[in-house]
Amino acid sequence: MTEHHEKIEHVLDRLRTERDELRVRAHLARAEAREEWDKLEHKWGDLESRAAAAGKEAKEASGDVRSAFDTLAAEIAEAYRRIRRQLH
């Protein structure tokens, strides 16, 4: 085997290894994103319920409902950002 051929094989081996590692990481990232998405769908339902309840609550309780709503909305927004980063 010539030196030139050995260099080519070395480059191909290195790239194959990197490709395989990236394939696994990409697959895992998609799986993690799907898992997080499924969890968020449940939280989304809770958020919509809280929004509906906030409209029905008395003004005295609306501060508590609003605080819980804001907290949950912020949590969902952050999770969406994490998913977006995982997918890019």
The total number of structural domains in the chain stands at 1
| Structural domain of 43 | 3-87
pLDDT per position as a tens digit, 25-84: 878 888 888 888 888 889 888 888 877 776 666 555 566 777 877 888 888 898 888 887
pLDDT in the model for residue 67: 80
Nearest-angstrom CA–CA distance, 88 and 69 = 29
User: Would you say 34 and 86 are in contact if contact means Cβ atoms under 8 Å apart?
Assistant: no
pLDDT in the model for residue 47: 84
Handedness of CA 60, 49, 38, 73 (dihedral sign): negative
pLDDT in the model for residue 58: 53
> Is the pLDDT reported for residue 11 higher than 60?
yes
Q: Is the pTM of this model over 0.75?
A: no
For 1-88, where are the E strands, in sequence order? none
Q: What is the DSSP letter of 58?
A: -
Q: Which residues contact 44 (CB under 8 A, 6 or more apart)?
A: 76
